Structure 1
Amino acid sequence: MEIILQPWPWYVSGPLIAIIMFLLVYFGKTFGMSSNLKTICAAGGAGKNVPFFDFDWREHKWNLLVVLGAVLGGFIAHFFLSEPTNIELNPDTIENLNQLGFKNAGKSLLPPEIYSWNSVFSIQGILILLFGGFLVGFGTRYANGCTSGHAITGLSSLQLPSLIAVIGFFVGGLVMIHLIFPIIF
């Protein structure tokens, strides 16, 4: 018997996310990857030098389980629950990506022109990682949360700042892909 691996449909994954969010709200917790990273930094002693990380991380150690779950879940999903498959892209998108230097557009989820060790250790790759990391860190701190925190926790608890942040994330993504991405590649 052949097992066909497919992504979970919205009617399974959506309610699971809603149940988790309900439990987090019920127990007075918030969710977001930047909160988890903040807890890791505080546990590592960053609070000795930076006041932002000076808090009792033990009260937030449950965040570390979220990080562990994300890593384990990604590992299991990649190695046991997925199979290589072509991605159905619009032919115009494939042509545009080919013009930007992406030779196998649509053949894998993560193009090797960006997501390979050769790309990472190139001058362009290191500059993109440094600049992108700075922007993500600055943006997360400035917006008082990350995309997952605002889009999942903030929107589910009807917070106006999270709605504004999520709109900003989408606008930023559109600017990146249509204006900046062609310049980089």
Structure 2
Amino acid sequence: MEIILNPWPWYISGPLIAFVMAILLYFGKTFGMSSSLKTMCSALGADKFSDFFKFNWKEQKWNLTVVFGAIIGGFITTEYLSNDVATDLNKTTIAELQEMGFANPGSTLVPNELFSLDSLISIKAILLLIIGGLLVGFGTRYASGCTSGHAITGLSSLQKQSLIAVIGFFVGGLVMTNFILPLIF
């Protein structure tokens, strides 16, 4: 008997996220991948190269569980919870992706044209990774947090700054998806 694993439905994953957020808020903690990575960089000695990383990382060492949890969770999901079921995409989205040169949109969780070792050997892919990484790093630093931190922690604690940042994330995503990505591909 084959077990088909699909993503958790919103009514299970949503309350779990809310539960974790309630616990973090109760203990006066915040959640965000960028703050977790900042803690990890500081612990690994980045404070010797940049004042940004000069803080007592030991007070925030609990943040390291987020980094390790993401790594372990990604491994468990890839190795044990993945399936070969195609992603159910809208027909218009499939047609638009095929026009951009994606061979089988939705057949894999992420497109092989972007996320395979073969795709990383081109100059175009390397430039996209470098420029994209710089823009994400700049945006995260400029917004004082990442998408997960602002969208989950910031909005749940009713921070105006997070609302503005999340609106910016969505507008940026729409511009990228509808105007810039078609030019790149």
Mark yes or no: TM-score above 0.5.
yes
Aligned to 2:78: 78
Work out the CA distance in 2 between the residues paired with 1:108 and 1:95: 16
Equivalent residue number for residue 167 of structure 2:
167
User: Amino acid of the residue matched to residue 25 of structure 1?
Assistant: L
What SS does the corresponding residue of 2:4 show, helix, strand or coil? Answer: coil
Partner of 2:60: 60
Superposition pairs of residues 89-168 of structure 1, within 5 angstroms: 89-168=89-168
TM-score (norm 1): 0.96
Provide structure 2 residue ranges, at least 5 long, that are not aligned to the other structure.
none
What's the counterpart of residue 30 of structure 1? Answer: 30
* Distance of 2:2 and 2:101 partners within structure 1: 36
**Deviation at residue 184 of structure 1 after TM alignment:** 0.7
| Residue-by-residue CA offset, 1:128-151 (whole Å, 9 max, x unaligned) | 000000000000000000000000
Residue 79 (structure 1) shift:
1.4
In structure 1, give the amino acid aligned to 2:82: S
TM-score by length of 2: 0.96
Deviates more, 1:26-35 or 1:78-87: 78-87
Q: Percent identity?
A: 64
- Tell me the distance in 2 between the aligned counterparts of 1:74 and 1:125: 23
